[in-house]
């Protein structure tokens, strides 16, 4: 088996709806004491008073930067009001429904939140709705954000600092090199895709591509995603492009040339994906290495690459989640 997927497979989304709902359950958390993973801690008494005990940005944490990338790809902050006009802040991260095991794993290791299944959208959402749960996520990803979502994130920090006199620091956009932490792995798990191109029309061609696409302007802040996508393009040794869908324009970065393949392989040798894209990447990785070694066009390897292409993304029928064990 290519990629060493192991022996345990989950037949996800094939007549398995009842299995999913029964296995991934919602647990109410005890909010009396919360430990902030690698970032410090907060204590909450029965009166819901919050006090920051300690805080620091942990540069070596895989979880923190990875979670920040997930949030910037498919996360959101919602500010609601109760009937008493008390403001309520919710942080959510949306996943494809096939990535429910990752969603549940994050819920368990973060120790807060609940999962909402959205059947019509083929999605699940990890939601943090209590003050201590939201503050935990803030402390985990604070200092790792690179996109205009930082604007609303910092407004949320202002709200909790004022409400509880916390003194949570606010950071500018993270300008550190993207290749130095796991942020890009989280962002691609949320918004990227690995594709193998296999064409036997006119001229036979095999290609591997990593494709990332997102809006140009953040609607809330009016700020552009250009700086972030320019840095991603640099990471991939590629160029920043503009795509159009249904009259709307998006930033697009594609990595497919030899330089890009080497840079992508090098990055993911250091930082893992954790969604089902990890499995797709294993297929992609195998084909990309054959291309770099000039071995992709042999008769035997053509057949291997064809099978790899037709066993990934929407055509994937089997899922192994052993790789989640390394995400803590």
Residue 110 has pLDDT above 60, yes or no: yes
86/30: higher pLDDT: 86
**Mean pLDDT across the chain:** 84
Q: What is the pLDDT of residues 274-286, one digit of tens each?
A: 999 999 999 999 9
For 7-38, what is each residue's pLDDT tens digit? Answer: 323 333 323 332 232 222 222 232 222 222 23
What pLDDT is recorded for position 7? 31
Span 94-108, average pLDDT: 97
Q: What residues does CATH 3.10.28.10 cover in the chain?
A: 17-164, 178-326
What integer pLDDT is reported at residue 236 of this predicted model? 95
| pLDDT of res. 23 | 28
Model confidence pLDDT, tens digit, residues 66-78: 999 999 999 999 9
Q: What is the pTM of this model?
A: 0.83
pLDDT at residue number 82: 59
Reported as a pLDDT band with limits 50, 70 and 90, residue 56 is very low
What is the spatial order of strands in the sheet that 114-118 belongs to? 75-81, 87-96, 123-128, 114-118
Per CATH, which fold does 17-164 belong to? Answer: Endonuclease I-creI (3.10.28)
Lowest mean pLDDT among 7-16, 109-118, 273-282, 316-325: 7-16
pLDDT tens digit sequence for 229-252: 999 999 999 999 999 999 999 999
Greater pLDDT, 60 or 137: 137
CATH annotation of 178-326: 3.10.28.10
């Amino acid at each position: 088996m290519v990629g060493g997927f192991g022996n345990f497979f989950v037949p996800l989304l094939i007549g398995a709806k009842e299995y999913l709902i029964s296995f991934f359950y919602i647990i109410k958390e005890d909010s009396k004491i919360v430990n902030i993973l690698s970032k410090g801690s907060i204590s909450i008494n029965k009166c819901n008073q919050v006090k920051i005990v300690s805080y620091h940005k942990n540069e070596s944490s895989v979880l923190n930067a990875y979670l920040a990338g997930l949030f910037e790809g498919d996360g959101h902050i919602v500010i609601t009001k109760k009937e008493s006009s008390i403001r309520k802040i919710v942080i959510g991260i949306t996943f494809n429904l096939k990535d429910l095991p990752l969603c549940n794993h994050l819920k368990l290791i973060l120790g807060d939140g609940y999962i909402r299944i959205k059947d019509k959208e083929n999605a699940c959402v990890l939601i943090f709705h209590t003050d201590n749960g939201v503050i935990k996520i803030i402390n985990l990803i604070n200092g790792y954000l690179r996109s205009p979502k930082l604007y609303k994130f910092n407004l949320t920090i202002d709200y909790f600092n004022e409400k509880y006199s916390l003194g949570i620091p606010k950071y500018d956009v993270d300008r550190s090199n993207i290749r130095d932490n796991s942020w890009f792995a989280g962002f691609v798990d949320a918004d990227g895709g690995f594709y193998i191109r296999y064409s036997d029309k006119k001229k036979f061609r095999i290609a591997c591509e990593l494709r990332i696409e997102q809006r140009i302007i953040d609607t809330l802040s009016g700020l552009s995603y250009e700086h972030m996508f320019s840095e991603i393009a640099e990471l991939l040794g590629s160029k920043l492009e503009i795509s159009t869908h249904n009259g709307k324009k998006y930033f697009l970065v594609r990595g497919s040339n030899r330089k890009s393949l080497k840079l992508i392989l090098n990055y993911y040798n250091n930082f893992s994906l954790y969604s089902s894209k990890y499995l797709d990447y294993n297929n992609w990785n195998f084909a990309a290495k054959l291309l770099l070694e000039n071995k992709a066009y042999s008769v035997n390897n053509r057949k291997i690459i064809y099978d790899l292409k037709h066993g990934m993304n929407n055509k994937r029928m089997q899922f192994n989640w052993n790789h989640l064990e390394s995400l803590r």
